[in-house]
Amino acid sequence: MSTDTFSASIDSKPVPLSQDAKIIGLVSMAHAISHFSHMLLVPLFPVFQQEFALSFSQLGFLVTVFFVVSGVGQALSGFWVDRVGARPVLFSAIGVFMLAALVAASAQSYAWLIAAAALAGLGNSPFHPCDFTILNQRVSQPRLGHAFSTHGISGSLGWALAPLFYAGLTSWVGWRNAYLAAAMLYAVVLMILWLNRECFLTEVVRQNPKTVPLHAEKESDFAFLKLPVVWWCFGFFMLSTVTLAMVQSFSVPILKALHGVSFEMATLTLTAYLLCGALGILVGGFIASSQAKRGISSDKAIMICYAVGSFLLVLCATGILGAVGTMVALAATGFVVGIGNPSRDMMVKNATPKGASGRMYGTVYSGFDVGFAVAPLIFGALMDRQLYSACLYAVAFVLLVSIGFARSVEHQKKPQTKQA
């Protein structure tokens, strides 16, 4: 049975809410643990800075290693998901996360931290191709907008949990034991997913080698890369991610430097940013579903939300809001940008060629990794030069530029759909 037939069978008859909810919930759990792993090292940067005498640039390089490995792996894993299905790839990835946490727990030098970052990046690489392939195949069409919303919320919750998890356990049992606890958490999640493994079964598209020449099969795997919409989507994800990467990596020291905010309050602000992002994604799910029903293009919500987010970041950069006002504005930025995320995911879905879900999401979402890989290097250098406000002005500008890429995706989408 082909992917198209499998998807059609879902939409041909009403699907119980409980069935969709179970699949959405389990996929979202996996997505949360992947985003939790984005923060494997970041919350303990102050600890590593003292423990191993590291600069901001060296700390930023750890984030770069994670996302370079994740970006390359994500683009490649999309092809693998299309060939063997999402389930075995997803389960293997969580096992790699466990290994990364164990390496971090055993770290004796900066090189160990680089190895942990590389392993975590490798584990993270298949999640978007796996998650969106499962959701697009296994969830009924009318609930896809809410599925994308829940999926996005779970990622933000995973981000928000990590600073609390690592900071709390580090103050209680030490940072090495905190990583051992993280490895146990991965084991529990993997067990839950394994017990519900039937929910992760996806169909793959196979061509008959007797009727299709070998060279034609190879061409079909990569033909989607010729579509301009793929690269507009890639560019949009890369640019829009720069803001999130900077806030995650350096908002805590920026708040401390500009306003004298304590480490605890600055960390709570980062958590608030991520939690408000989750709330924004919840709201954005209803907006994305409403837009789809009314035939409104997905880029409308993205344009408005990102423009407001850019304005709030500029306010933070000026310093006129003071310490409390800046912390509130950062949290609000997370909320308004989060509202646009389900529309972003719907935009990519509508631009995806038939039978290339894993490859499309793997390639496009590798732009997410590129943004995360580049941003720490750039902003780490600015931080070392104490150009704290410049970091905020820069990400506000980049967020505005990403709006133009979203508009280009919308212009390219209809010709691409005909070609697919």
Question: What tens digit of pLDDT does each residue of 27-76 get?
Answer: 999 999 999 998 899 889 888 988 999 888 888 889 889 988 988 888 78
**Higher confidence at residue 354 or residue 409?**
409
Q: Which domains does the chain have, with CATH numbers?
A: 18-204+217-419 (1.20.1250.20)
- pLDDT recorded at residue 262: 85
As a three-state string, the secondary structure of 203-221 is: CCCCCCCCCCCHHHHHHHH
Report for 19-23, 351-355, 412-416: range of highest mean pLDDT:
19-23
Helices (DSSP H) in 209-262: which residue ranges?
214-222, 228-259
The tally of CA atoms less than 13 A away on the side-chain side of residue 182 is: 39
CA gap 269, 328 in Å, rounded: 8
Question: Residue 196 carries which DSSP code?
Answer: T
Residues 6 or more apart in contact with residue 305 via CB below 8 angstroms: 280, 284, 336, 337, 339, 340
Instruction: Report the predicted TM-score, pTM, of the whole model to 2 decimal places.
Output: 0.72
- pLDDT recorded at residue 7: 47
Q: How confident is the model at residue 357 (pLDDT cuts 50, 70, 90)?
A: low
CA gap 381, 383 in Å, rounded: 5
> Is the pLDDT score of 4 beyond 50?
no
Q: Of 100-109, 382-391, 405-414, give the lowest mean pLDDT range.
A: 405-414
pLDDT digit string (tens) for 241-297? 888 888 878 888 899 899 988 877 888 888 889 889 889 988 888 887 777 677 666
Closest CA to 157 of 30, 246, 57: 30
The arithmetic mean of pLDDT across residues 385-389, rounded, is: 91
CA gap 70, 74 in Å, rounded: 6
> Is the pLDDT score of 361 beyond 80?
no
